[in-house]
């Protein structure tokens, strides 16, 4: 994918004293007014440090929560200042507004290599409407724009999209790593390329499934959504979670896969229980063989063996959605076994393995597999829209 990178000659050229407006994702978990997980702060460090080394003045733009165009004190970015300064090992100034005289003065006051965090962009209603007047005001504060917030790139807001049209615009280091990984997984992958899609519902992932069957060589379907596919093929699913009204959609996706020569890997055996709780009696069953009060809560061992063999035969894997109710052992088994297999192949260098999605990240961490995969996206909505094949406005605006 060709987009403007921060270390390309034109950007790296003489950033000394230049004002860089840097969009970051600081929408971090907070507990009692304190940052409770600093993963997103850490993700912004490579870009900030690079700009500091070059003597730029760094003004950070971010949103926090949903103040909907009003100043909501509980949604201030101020609590970020201290932990960010500690991670950077350098002072971080704060400006009470992201536009206007307050912001301008705070940026002017910075020494070369200095950092200021500007207050929540969503305090202004124009942010989310991508208001041109707000965009011009914000653009007036900087000499260049750097977008390092892939997770907000599915939104066309002033700080994620509008600014890119008014200033020289570049992808930050985090954004760059994300785009390169996504490109390696789906844009321009080494083939054969395999997908795993799981999770609870077909209804939330119809566009994603339709896009993937047209682009992948094989696609495994697991989790609750596989029940809908089994039902659509005529199997009894007992008391399983199943969207029976989507049987036609499931059949349409199967037909699309056939036409596109994408091999569909549906479950061939299942793990069932009457109760979705720890310690409930658990049985491994053939398809369709379950009592009316039993539910499919995980993929069976045969299914996992087929999946891992398919991984062995693939060069690239893209994964979203757990294969079972991984939060409640033993229904984590298929997900954990598959994740560890993918991790070992990625570690050995024979598989490019990219995964993303809120519950998927939790499941991969639970399996101890996240660190060994090639890339794990924590971007949530932006990652899913990208898997759906939708252009992301924040990324489109950085393309050359
Ligand atoms: P992500 O957040 O990674 O995109 P989803 O939100 O689509 O993933 O799906 C995750 C949820 O799917 C988990 O809470 C998991 O318990 C649920 N799930 C997986 N398999 C089943 C199943 N067989 N029955 C019901 N729920 C399931
Ligand atoms: Mg989820």
* DSSP letters spanning 283-351: EEEETT---TT-EEEEE-HHHHHHHHHHHHT-SEEEEES-SS-TTSTTTTHHHHHHHHHHHHHHHHTS-
Question: In CATH terms, are 9-174 and 181-387 the same topology?
Answer: yes
Judge contact between 22 and 59, C-beta under 8 A: yes
Give the confidence band of 400 by pLDDT, cuts at 50, 70, 90: confident
Residue 114 near ligand 1, beta carbon < 6 Å: no
Q: Which residues contact 25 (CB under 8 A, 6 or more apart)?
A: 40, 43, 44, 62, 148, 149, 150, 151, 152
Q: Which residues contact 308 (CB under 8 A, 6 or more apart)?
A: 337, 338, 341
pLDDT at 57: 98
What is residue 230's three-state secondary structure? helix
Mean pLDDT of 263-281: 95
User: Taking 90 as the threshold, does the pLDDT of residue 37 lie above it?
Assistant: yes
User: Taking 70 as the threshold, does the pLDDT of residue 21 lie above it?
Assistant: yes
Alpha helices, H only, the chain: 9-12, 39-53, 81-88, 100-108, 125-129, 132-139, 173-182, 206-215, 223-232, 247-259, 301-312, 333-348, 358-366, 381-387, 393-396
Residue 322 near ligand 1, beta carbon < 6 Å: yes
Residue 342 near ligand 1, beta carbon < 6 Å: no
Question: How does DSSP classify residue 240?
Answer: S
pLDDT at 12: 66
Distance from residue 324's CA to the centre of ligand 1 (Å): 7
Distance from residue 14's CA to the centre of ligand 2 (Å): 44
Residue located nearest, by CA, to atom 24 of ligand 1: 224
Q: Round to whole Å and give the CA distance between 393 and 302.
A: 42
Residue located nearest, by CA, to atom 16 of ligand 1: 325
User: Taking 80 as the threshold, does the pLDDT of residue 13 lie above it?
Assistant: no
What is residue 196's three-state secondary structure? strand
3-state DSSP: the chain helix, strand, coil percent, rounded to 5? 40, 20, 40
pLDDT at 8: 79
User: Taking 70 as the threshold, does the pLDDT of residue 9 lie above it?
Assistant: no
- What are the residues whose beta carbon lies below 5 Å from ligand 2 (ion)? 358-359
Q: Which has the closest alpha carbon to 358: 322, 318, 317?
A: 322
Residue 384's CB is within 10 A of a number of other CB atoms, namely 21
Residue 327 near ligand 1, beta carbon < 6 Å: yes
The CATH homologous superfamily for domain 181-387 is Phosphoglycerate kinase, N-terminal domain (3.40.50.1260)
Q: Which residues contact 184 (CB under 8 A, 6 or more apart)?
A: 190, 316, 352, 354, 374, 375
Lowest mean pLDDT among 14-18, 141-145, 208-212: 14-18
Distance from residue 381's CA to the centre of ligand 2 (Å): 10
Domain definitions of the chain by residue range? 9-174, 181-387
Residue 39's CB is within 10 A of a number of other CB atoms, namely 11
Ligand nearest to the CA of 363: 1
Ligand nearest to the CA of 243: 1
Q: Which residues are catalytic?
A: 40, 201, 358, 381
pLDDT at 1: 82
Q: Round to whole Å and give the CA distance between 131 and 352.
A: 40
Q: Round to whole Å and give the CA distance between 55 and 140.
A: 20
Mean pLDDT of 98-114: 98
Q: Round to whole Å and give the CA distance between 400 and 224.
A: 41
The structure's pTM equals 0.95
Mean pLDDT of 286-301: 97
Q: What is the pLDDT of residues 303-329, one digit of tens each?
A: 999 999 999 999 999 999 999 999 999
Give the confidence band of 11 by pLDDT, cuts at 50, 70, 90: low
Note the CATH number of domain 9-174.
3.40.50.1260
Q: What is the pLDDT of residues 192-245, one digit of tens each?
A: 999 999 999 999 999 999 999 999 999 999 999 999 999 999 999 999 999 999
Pocket test for ligand 1, best of 322, 332, 363, 387 (most atoms within 8 A of CB): 322
Residue 189 near ligand 1, beta carbon < 6 Å: no
Task: Give the position of tokens 């959609």.
Answer: 249
Residue 224 near ligand 1, beta carbon < 6 Å: yes
- Look up residue 149 and give its two tokens: 């917030």
Residue 200 near ligand 1, beta carbon < 6 Å: yes
């Amino acid at each position: 994918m060709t987009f403007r990178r921060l270390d390309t000659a034109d950007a790296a050229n003489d950033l000394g004293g230049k004002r860089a407006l840097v969009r970051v994702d600081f929408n971090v978990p907070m507990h009692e007014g304190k940052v409770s997980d600093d993963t997103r702060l850490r993700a912004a460090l490579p870009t900030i440090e690079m700009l500091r080394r070059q003597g730029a003045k760094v003004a950070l733009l971010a949103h926090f929560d949903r103040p909907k165009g009003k100043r909501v004190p509980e949604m201030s970015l101020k609590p970020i200042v201290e932990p960010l300064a500690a991670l950077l090992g350098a002072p971080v100034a704060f400006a009470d507004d992201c536009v206007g005289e307050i912001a301008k003065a705070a940026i002017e006051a910075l020494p070369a290599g200095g950092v200021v965090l500007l207050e929540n962009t969503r305090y202004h209603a124009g942010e989310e409407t991508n208001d041109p007047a707000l965009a011009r005001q914000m653009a007036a504060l900087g000499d260049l724009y750097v977008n390092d917030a892939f997770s907000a790139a599915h939104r066309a807001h002033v700080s994620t999209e509008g600014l890119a049209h008014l200033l020289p615009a570049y992808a930050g280091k985090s954004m760059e790593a994300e785009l390169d990984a996504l490109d390696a997984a789906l844009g321009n992958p080494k083939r054969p390329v395999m997908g795993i899609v799981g999770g609870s519902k077909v209804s939330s992932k119809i566009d994603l499934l339709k896009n993937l069957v047209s682009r992948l060589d094989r696609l495994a379907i697991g989790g609750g959504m596989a029940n809908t596919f089994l039902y659509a093929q005529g199997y009894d699913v007992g008391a399983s979670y199943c969207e029976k009204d989507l049987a036609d959609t499931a059949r349409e996706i199967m037909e699309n896969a056939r036409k596109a020569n994408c091999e569909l890997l549906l479950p061939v055996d299942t793990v069932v229980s009457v109760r979705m709780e720890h310690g409930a009696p658990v049985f491994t069953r053939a398809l369709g063989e379950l009592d009316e009060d039993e539910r499919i809560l995980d993929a069976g061992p045969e299914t996992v063996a087929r999946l891992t063999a398919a991984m062995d035969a693939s060069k690239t894997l893209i994964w979203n959605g757990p294969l079972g109710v991984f939060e409640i052992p033993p229904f984590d088994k298929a997900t954990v076994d598959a994740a560890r297999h993918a991790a070992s192949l990625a570690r050995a260098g024979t598989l490019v393995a990219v995964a993303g999605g809120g519950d998927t990240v939790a499941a991969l961490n639970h399996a101890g597999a996240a660190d060994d995969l090639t890339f794990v996206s924590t971007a949530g909505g932006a990652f899913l829209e990208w898997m759906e094949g939708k252009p992301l406005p924040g990324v489109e605006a950085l393309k050359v």
